[in-house]
Chains A and B, each alone.
Chain A
Amino acid sequence: MKTSDNQRRSSVVHTRGLRMRYGSTDVLKGVDLTVAPGEVVALLGPNGAGKTTTIEILEGFRTRSDGQVSVLGVDPDHGDEPWRARLGVVLQSWRDHGRWRVRELLSYLTLFYEPYRERVFDPDELIGLVGLTDHADRRVGTLSGGQRRRLDVAVGLIGHPDLLFLDEPTVGFDPEARREFHELLGRLPGTAVLLTTHDLAEAEKLADRIVILVSGRVVADGTAAELADRIAGEAEVRYRLHGREHVHSVPDATSYVRELFAQHGTAVDDLEVRRASLEDVYLALVRESEPVAA
């Protein structure tokens, strides 16, 4: 009990047994999730896994059915304005304020954070940070999808939040915009980030830790390397011996290969050892955990 209390106090997000039920459908079936200060955590999972629902509960936009939730030490259902000032929220899609100009909107929103935060971004600095300097006087409604998304992130960052929620930040991005966006996130100073994605490469690239959510349950939680280790025992060894191709899944690739050379020496050709990729792990986990689809 004691440790759990301490853990809750020292983490920016802490949930235990979080449940959400719509009518007779359980969307979240007891989610345990922790984000430490300054940590970047990716909530990864297929569509319909409950990622957005989880995030909306943490943001205080949706009331959970059951479970303990603490965000920055506060139950989001009772989050007050000073609490809100410490959060940055980037939802899946915004189309708001289409007639406002980029700088106009950011300077307007800056006002709200000034009474609460020691540091508030200067609008122009923020516009530069997200690479919209050339578009500062454009109307928000005329921005491209990628530019709009970067503006959304800028809005989320205004008050130097302690915790930033990013829901599917790069959906609809072309590869170039995606790369720029990833670089932008790499430049964030000391902000804890909880991001949802169904893009595995994105999770691997951005996150310190990956939490895989399938059908409303956390099925894995760890760094990319730790997750890969879960199936790492099954490395794949390919080689050619006397002109014939061989493929084996083996628990210990190193000793297998040592043995192979000891037995066959120079007859072994085209050797290739492949550890399970994160993608293999992910797909295996999703297959294991998902109820048989109709």
Chain B
Amino acid sequence: MNPRAVAVRAGLRRGRIEFRHTMTNAGELMGWLWLPVVALIVMYAFGDGATPGVDFPLGAQAVPGILAMNAVFTGLVGLAMTLTLDREDGTLLRARATPHGVLAYVIGKVLGKAAMAVAVVLLVLLPAMLVFDGLQPGRLSTWVTLTWVLLLGLLAVLPIGAILGAVSGNSQSLGFVTLLLMALVAVSGVFYPITALPGWLQWLGQAFPLYWMGLGLRSALLPDALAAAEAGGSWRPTETVLALGASAVVGFTLASVTLRRMARRESGSSVAARRERVAQRLD
């Protein structure tokens, strides 16, 4: 068999194994679930008000946005974090010492985190459907739209996670990334329609994939009448595909360059130096 094809298969195996490691680790799973769970509880408790412009509870309106936020956190931050930690402990170097190992490594990491993001979204969505009135689990279009939006959305955000993971010097600097993401959540219409924001903040929010993923998931899960509450009074599916697609294309191009550079610069001494810094931090 062609060595490259073998590496792709090995990458699938790595993704599966690491997905299983995460799913069977209660602590790590809780780490990814607490944020959306807390957000849902808050929206359930205090989301009785109406969504502006339509007769629909604000709480249920926010569920798709929370799912989008969750997918972005798990996929993007998760991938960035694992790439950074793997450089601290030598996993990336091990891949470099193996024929076609880096290819399999990247495939495995990306797929593992993508699967994780989907799993976490489903783990949150299914109970939310029982708890919140007004979500539309009974339509076929719900599930079709959910699938393509999640898929395209992950294609858009995973490369960003890969780039951040490749350029970040240590796991601490990723705390800053998380902070920026929180700020992005505020302008992406996750909890409250973006139309309530000043115009320039609306533009800012729409420059990032989080907004479009949230919009797509709202179009999947909410009644069609709620499109009236969105910017432009429509679900804008074409714009969603274009925005997420463009982000994916640009992201993949940049990510393949940064990942290559990251792998090329890896050596035993650089792992040792990084570990030294980690040890100093812990002292």
Which A residues lie at the B interface, using CB under 8 A? Answer: 52-53, 56, 59, 61-62, 81-82, 84-85, 87, 89, 91-100, 104, 108-109, 111-116, 155, 167
Q: Which of A52, A97, A98, A112 has the most CB of B within 10 A?
A: A112
Nearest 6 A-B pairs (CB), nearest first?
A: A61-B267, A96-B91, A115-B3, A85-B99, A89-B97, A81-B99
Say yes or no for B90: interface residue by CB 8 A criterion: yes
Say yes or no for B41: interface residue by CB 8 A criterion: no
B268 touches A96 (CB 8 A): no
A28 and B71 CA atoms in complex are apart in Å by 49
What is the total of A-B residue contacts with beta carbons within 8 Å?
85
A59 and B6 CA atoms in complex are apart in Å by 23
Contacts A112-B10, A116-B99 given: A97-B272 contact, CB under 8 Å?
no
B97 touches A114 (CB 8 A): no
**Apart from the given pairs A91-B268, A112-B100, A115-B2, 11 other A-B contacts in the complex at a CB distance below 8 Å:** A52-B268, A56-B268, A91-B90, A92-B268, A93-B272, A94-B90, A95-B89, A108-B14, A109-B98, A112-B3, A112-B104
Say yes or no for B9: interface residue by CB 8 A criterion: yes
Say yes or no for B101: interface residue by CB 8 A criterion: yes
User: What is the chain A residue whose CB lies nearest that of B94?
Assistant: A96
Contacts A81-B99, A112-B100, A113-B99 given: A95-B90 contact, CB under 8 Å?
yes
Residues of A within 8 A of B272 (CB): 92-93
B17 touches A100 (CB 8 A): yes
Which B residues lie at the A interface, using CB under 8 A? Answer: 1-3, 6-7, 9-10, 13-14, 17-18, 21, 25, 86, 89-91, 93-94, 96-101, 104, 266-269, 271-272, 275
Residues of A within 8 A of B10 (CB): 108, 111-112
Residues of B within 8 A of A108 (CB): 10, 13-14, 17
B269 touches A52 (CB 8 A): yes
Residues of B within 8 A of A109 (CB): 98
A56 touches B269 (CB 8 A): yes
B116 to chain A, nearest CB (A): 14
Residues of A within 8 A of B275 (CB): 93, 95
